[in-house]
Amino acid sequence: MGTLYYGDVATPIEIEDRALAHVKVVIATKLRRGESFTLSWTHGPHQEVGRSTVWLHPSIPLRFVFDESEPALLSRAWIEALANSANSSGGLLLVPEPDHPGD
């Protein structure tokens, strides 16, 4: 399970390593462009039922921590699906990996 630390929030955001690797690419791309946006996800099985959203801004510290020492192989289709959501008015939604991973 990977961890996303955002700002000075006391509770880090836990996201499965493979998903976090894909989210990182999309977040880094948008922040590099100076774009602010939201990130939304459904709470995991060991968390309180519900969903959360954070506002991501280039000036707020962000750190990605992965449990796996080797980087995940990235799926172009998943990155595109995440990027499309990030560019929408609803912001970046942690959507499941498409069945046809592609490259």
Task: Report the 3 state secondary structure along 5-17.
Answer: EECCCCCCEEECH
What pLDDT is recorded for position 100? Answer: 64
Cα 31 to chain centroid, rounded: 12
What pLDDT is recorded for position 44? Answer: 74
SS3 37: strand
What pLDDT is recorded for position 23? Answer: 96
Token representation of residue 18 = 């493979």
Q: How many other C-beta atoms are found inside a 10 Å radius of the C-beta of residue 27?
A: 22
Using 50 as the pLDDT threshold, list the residues of the chain that sit under it.
102
CB 96 within 8 A of CB 23: no
* One-letter amino acid of 69: S
What pLDDT is recorded for position 17? Answer: 94
Q: Does the model's pTM come out above 0.95?
A: no
Q: Cα separation of 58 and 28, whole Å? A: 9
What pLDDT is recorded for position 19? Answer: 94
What is the bridge-based pairing of β-strands 13-15 and 2-6? antiparallel
What pLDDT is recorded for position 8? Answer: 81
